[in-house]
Chains A and B, each alone.
Chain A
């Protein structure tokens, strides 16, 4: 019984962490251009490289 007291909060905490990560990714615009992300990896002169400014 006592290990449940640790395991359940742990499980819920990890789940909550995942939820928080999802909300963060949503807010930071990672879902704005799903198609673009998949083709950008094919671009050899990636603009994700450190920009000049």
Chain B
């Protein structure tokens, strides 16, 4: 057979290119490292499953014992480990592998990714502004209290001057984030929340300085600075959440292939960057690598995992002449492909242009805070202006008093509580989600998630784990189990891995002459007999003829001249899938499956989960169209998917979620990424989103209530600096206290991380307990 020839021909290149691969990985580690001095490098690793003191201890002490490591520091907040190592004493790749051996999946953190910079300059600027505002507010308040409690005129004037001396530089420093934002909005002739804020602060300050130097009666220094202080808290929290959430998702970037191995006549294979790949090149794709661009197989044969690309759950075998899309994973044998595209027009590029188009629609969503600002800002200005005009008429042209009262209106309506209403809730909500293993990228995602009416699930990798699992076997006994496990352990094919995992407790035996035959399976010699594990037809060639049941699918095993054993493999459901679907249906939400897989597989999953609506064999473009049709008919769609083929649909949907196992593109397109295996993350996220929505509305109600009381007083000219200070502080504190209630929120689905493993197993058994028989019957 031709495939066997090509596989033997490729035996040598495979081993040599595997060393190329590890050299390339080492280069990648270097690229992600910061060069300190001499041979010292600092590399940041992202270790997502670091949870507790024991994890930190294991990692830090473990890495410290490596010869090349000179210092390690784990950061639990960012889930990163900063390692300083000496390139003379060892390689950086060893560190990654060592972390893996310790049981932690480590990914590289590339310093060039601006969004995920660990040193967060904008946050620090805000924090410094917050500190300055806090310092000024506390001191000025102290002086103001003495004035209010009845200091004599001379002392009051002195105190006002001192307050002014503190307030003016403090506002100049701490107010910059608001002033720049307000100017930016005004320069494009728009109003945002920062315009009334800046106006109120600046006017209050100017007026107070004027008052201190002239009559010295009343000054609003404390109001101006306290205002800034509270608003900066809101601003900082807002920033913190955005930064952290975005960073958390970005930092999950895997070691994906960003290039390929070029094969040229008469030259040794070399690694080239994705940008250098052009049409017509011959690339070698080794097992475990993804194809960087589209191509046609020219030599070699292998099994190809297209799950992330098309949603197909079974691997397919490929032969010379087969066309492969960019992004497919090569599983068993090395293949050479001729590229049919470069990076700019590959399947991946097509997907990303589809995503851009889809995302433009969602970019128009305006968060509730901004919608409030659009109404609130003009209303406040008009109110202040009307107050001024009204008092001018009433007092017959006393402009000093009229301006004074109009400014009081501006100060009192300043959206202190409003500015805190949304960010505080969102920060606490995001924190609650993170504790439950869900990361979010955008604050408005909470609002969008709360509006959802239809939930569309992808099948492979989302409703299911995307990996096959043994659900039944025939003819496997204690005699051959060890043999099966040993031979399965020599293949990286998902089916072989599943079988090896299935026979976990069995002792292994020694085999010789192990050979992986791409597209067929693995064969080896044991005690002078040939044994094979793989496709049934191929295995049947050596087995006792009578036992061959060629109709059965799955993986077969046989020893020479002995009967065949069969393994039935099935992509198992994601833990908690049934419970999640039941929970969603109970909340009268529409649930459907949108899959790229073939209809038989989709139907089986739909039946297992009790989902009625399903569509199968969908291309990425069809998925987008389906989502858009749903949305046009009035539904708000939550798309849950993981693959490249889902990415455009994730971007098109009203809100989207992806498991952390998703393709990079899928993860970047999703609003929420859940890092735990359980699908009930969907329920948890929705429950918390509903709760945050409720709290935000309560906060707005509180802020409006405050305005209803304070604004008439201000218009009537009854506001003194004392009342302004009390009213503003209380309203802000009430809003913060109300938001804090989210911390006490307990959901039914909360699962402590240490329990996941046992639950996962329990769930696997229960979810597959009766389905295999059903499947075989069907």
Contacts and interface: CB of A to CB of B under 8 A. Distances in A.
Interface of A: 1, 4, 8, 11-12, 15-16, 18-19, 22-23, 26, 31-36, 39-43, 45, 47, 53
23 contacts: A1-B155, A8-B162, A12-B166, A15-B135, A15-B139, A19-B131, A22-B131, A23-B128, A26-B128, A26-B131, A32-B78, A35-B76, A36-B76, A39-B52, A39-B76, A41-B53, A42-B53, A43-B54, A43-B57, A45-B57, A47-B61, A47-B64, A53-B70
B274 interface: no
Nearest to B154: A1
B597 to A, nearest CB: 40
Contact of B132 (A1, A19, A33, A47): A19
Given A15-B135, A45-B57, 14 more contacts: A4-B158, A8-B143, A11-B139, A12-B139, A12-B166, A15-B138, A22-B131, A23-B131, A36-B75, A39-B52, A39-B56, A40-B53, A43-B56, A47-B61
A25 B507 CA distance: 56
A16 B61 CA distance: 40
A8 B75 CA distance: 42
A37 B757 CA distance: 27
A32 B77 contact: yes
Contacts of B61: 45, 47
Contacts of A34: 77
A4 B138 CA distance: 17
B56 A36 contact: yes
Given A23-B128, A53-B70, A33 B53 contact: no
A5 to B, nearest CB: 10
B285 interface: no
A36 B61 CA distance: 15
Nearest to B159: A8
A2 to B, nearest CB: 12
A53 B128 CA distance: 35
Contact of B127 (A26, A39, A40): A26
B241 to A, nearest CB: 14
Contact of A33 (B52, B77, B138, B162): B77
Interface in B66-92: 70, 74-78
B111 to A, nearest CB: 16
Interface of B: 52-54, 56-57, 60-61, 64, 70, 74-78, 124, 127-128, 131-132, 135, 138-139, 142-143, 155, 158, 162, 166
A33 B44 CA distance: 14
In order of increasing CB-CB distance, the 8 nearest A-B pairs are: A36-B76, A39-B53, A42-B53, A33-B75, A43-B53, A35-B76, A19-B135, A35-B77
Contacts of A36: 56, 74-77
A14 to B, nearest CB: 10
A47 B139 contact: no
Contacts of A39: 52-53, 56, 76
A33 B76 contact: yes
Contacts of B162: 8
A52 B253 CA distance: 34
A26 B57 CA distance: 25
A23 B139 CA distance: 18
A40 to B, nearest CB: 6
Contact of B142 (A11, A31, A33): A11
Contacts of A4: 155, 158
Contacts of B132: 19
A19 B169 CA distance: 15
A32 B127 CA distance: 13
A32 B75 contact: yes
Contacts of B124: 26
